[in-house]
A = this chain, B = another copy of it.
């Protein structure tokens, strides 16, 4: 299927560029919308969902004409392809595991993905590399406006946008910033960050969002509240805190480099040694070692490997990606062997 052309690369948002890219992987804006005149998913019958899917697909093709987007019919997709899209952060686990007519519109650089018939009729997502709250928001807002011109949203002048779940009512906005905080984890200051976030109603989640554990040293920081605040206020809350988190991580990195450089270098190079030589490796261990390698590359301790390559490996070594790369369904043990093989191909002999 068409999405196969993505395998072997990762989305634009993993380019490792943009402001604060050594710490902030990506910025994501998500808008939850429903089409006026249609019942919410939970009450819609298959015919209504089919009609919605067709309507939205048509409208989004117009909105995104220049981007030449791809439509993936998630209902008809193979399990492996669904998992592949989840791993690339293009669809949610809920959309992958759902039922009935549903799909996703994706732009080729993967900076925009719009899920159709997820919990809400529309989940519009814009994903940019680095710390880019404003630009990401502007893009999402413009796409939302263009879509609303074609399909008016369910909206209440009292509540704002109406959504299937009350947690999204109001703005329907979630701003989410993915950060890499290895030094705060090593120095055991990460709990303080979590605590500070919870105080101002920000959520900290793992690499794969809601319901997934914070994996390794990667965290998604996002707003919890969508109601009773303007979009501007939500953006500002994130913008008031993120620079502090970045500064805090940067200080922790400096203190590691100052206090025990050998130990830090050792951690980084051992991680590289394992990644470039292991013959079998789980995705958890790969993630942990790639995190250490990423820190080493960012601190200039490892040369010859660029951040984009390391960022991409986080995605490309996930189970569905490995199976697409190997063009074969693989049992977990065989995946661990394939993962080690792929990491060696990409990393062995590359460092300086």
Minimum CB–CB distance for A143 against chain B, Å: 46
Tell me how many residues of A have a C-beta within 8 Å of chain B: 19
Say if the beta carbon of A272 comes within 8 Å of chain B.
yes
Give the contact stretch, choosing among A105-113, A148-156, A229-237, A273-281: A273-281
Query: Smallest CB-CB separation from A263: which chain B residue?
Result: B280
Say if the beta carbon of A340 comes within 8 Å of chain B.
yes
Give bound CA distance, A122 to B276, whole Å.
52
CB-CB contacts below 8 Å: A252-311 with B:
262-263, 265-266, 269-270, 272-280
The answer on a CB contact under 8 Å between A274 and B280 is: no
Residue from the list B262, B263, B265, B337 in contact with A262, Cβ < 8 A: B337
Query: Which residues on B sit within 8 Å (CB–CB) of A279?
Result: 262-263, 265-266, 269-270
Residue from the list B262, B270, B277 in contact with A269, Cβ < 8 A: B277
Output the residue of A265, A272, A273, A280 with the most chain B CB within 10 A.
A273
Give bound CA distance, A276 to B263, whole Å.
16
Interface residue SS majority, chain A: helix
Query: Smallest CB-CB separation from A336: which chain B residue?
Result: B262
Query: Smallest CB-CB separation from A269: which chain B residue?
Result: B277
The answer on a CB contact under 8 Å between A270 and B266 is: no
The answer on a CB contact under 8 Å between A274 and B270 is: yes
Give bound CA distance, A282 to B337, whole Å.
29
**Do A272 and B280 contact each other (CB < 8 Å), given the known contacts A262-B337, A340-B266?**
no
The answer on a CB contact under 8 Å between A272 and B262 is: no
Residue from the list B277, B280, B349 in contact with A273, Cβ < 8 A: B277
Query: Which residues on B sit within 8 Å (CB–CB) of A274?
Result: 270, 273-274
Minimum CB–CB distance for A218 against chain B, Å: 23
CB-CB contacts below 8 Å: A203-221 with B:
none
Give bound CA distance, A178 to B339, whole Å.
39
Query: Which residues on B sit within 8 Å (CB–CB) of A340?
Result: 266
Minimum CB–CB distance for A326 against chain B, Å: 15
Query: Which residues on B sit within 8 Å (CB–CB) of A266?
Result: 278-280, 340
Minimum CB–CB distance for A290 against chain B, Å: 14
5 pairs, A vs B, C-beta closer than 8 Å: A262-B279, A266-B279, A270-B273, A273-B277, A274-B274
